[in-house]
Amino acid sequence: MEPEPPSQVRLGTARGAEVVKVAVMALYALLIAFGLCKALPLASIEKSNVFMAKYFCVRLHALFGAALACGLVAVRVV
């Protein structure tokens, strides 16, 4: 009988750094794309627009926090 392959996939430092760079660049690309198609409000002098920008920033921050938490849980489970 042959031993089963390990269930964990390890990227290593260099490959992990590349994955993080690509993920951050993709995040910025998405933010730029949403800004260009006006899905995200542009900050301006008007209080209502600034309020809405802060509102979306808080929601985006919460979404990224939830994604990070899901990733951490997935690492433990898988």
Instruction: Please write the tens of the pLDDT for every residue from 18-37.
Output: 998 999 999 888 888 887 88
Please state, in angstroms and rounded to a whole number, the distance separating the CA atoms of residues 28 and 13: 23
Residue 13: per-residue pLDDT: 84
Please state, in angstroms and rounded to a whole number, the distance separating the CA atoms of residues 36 and 42: 9
The residue behind tokens 């998405």 is 30
pTM for the predicted model, two decimal places: 0.43
For 32-54, write each residue's pLDDT tens digit. Answer: 888 788 776 665 446 666 677 78
Please state, in angstroms and rounded to a whole number, the distance separating the CA atoms of residues 68 and 4: 30
Q: How many CA atoms lie within 13 A of 72 on its CB side?
A: 6
When pLDDT is cut at 50, 70 and 90, the band that residue 12 belongs to is confident
Residue 25: per-residue pLDDT: 92
